[in-house]
């Protein structure tokens, strides 16, 4: 039987598997394995993940599109599966240090993305968050509008005084 540890401290009993590891494995199996082979995980439940969630700030330095696929929760942990697709015509190495946001762990299904249009141009990213869902872990997107346009011009401000 699988022993599950939801405590990240070193006081976890030996042989127990940390919750983020178990939850990531469960999410990957739920997406890719035949349903009959997915091992039941007591306490895990599927949660709402908006497919239109703005993930534009997730990997801002890479030419990829990111789409929310599904999410599950176990206790205080959430795992969100995000599909990444390469938009460029060259290979991209995936490095979790390039992710922008507040995540407990991040696991890529594959270590790189092939050029756009090839079968290898897509993978899944599993993001674990603690205490809240993915939406609250992402950096805010910058507004496409220039707020400085609403500020008074220095010359007109001098005339008003």
10-66 pLDDT, tens digit each: 444 556 899 999 999 999 999 998 888 888 889 999 999 887 789 999 999 999 999
Give one DSSP letter per residue of the chain, joined into a string: ---EE---STTSPTTPEEHHHHHHHHHHHHHHS-GGGSPP-TT-EEE---TT---TTSSTTS-EEEEEEEEEEETTEEEEEEEEEE-SSS-EE--GGG--B--SEEEESSSEEPPTTSGGGEEEEEEEEESS-GGGGBPPPPPSS-GGGGSPPHHHHHHH-
Grade residue 1 by pLDDT with cuts at 50, 70 and 90: very low
pLDDT of 34:
87
Q: What is the pLDDT of residue 140?
A: 82
**pTM strictly above 0.85:** no
C-alpha–C-alpha distance, residues 19 and 7, integer Å: 8
Residue 4's pLDDT band (boundaries 50, 70, 90)? low
108 alpha carbon, distance to own chain's centre: 10
């Amino acid at each position: 039987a699988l022993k599950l540890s939801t405590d990240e401290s070193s006081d976890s009993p030996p042989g127990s598997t940390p919750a983020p590891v178990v939850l990531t494995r469960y999410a990957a199996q739920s997406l890719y394995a035949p349903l009959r082979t997915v091992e039941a995980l007591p306490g895990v439940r599927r949660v709402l993940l908006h497919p239109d969630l703005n993930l534009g700030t997730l990997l801002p330095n890479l030419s990829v599109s990111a789409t929310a696929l599904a999410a599950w929760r176990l206790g205080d942990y959430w795992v969100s599966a995000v599909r990444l697709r390469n938009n460029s015509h060259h290979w991209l190495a995936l490095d979790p240090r390039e992710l922008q946001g507040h995540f407990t762990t991040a696991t890529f299904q594959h270590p790189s993305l092939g050029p756009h249009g090839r079968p290898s141009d897509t993978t899944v990213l599993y993001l674990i968050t603690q205490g809240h869902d993915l939406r609250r872990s992402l950096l805010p997107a910058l507004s496409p509008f220039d707020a400085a346009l609403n500020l008074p011009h220095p010359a007109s401000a001098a005339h008003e005084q």
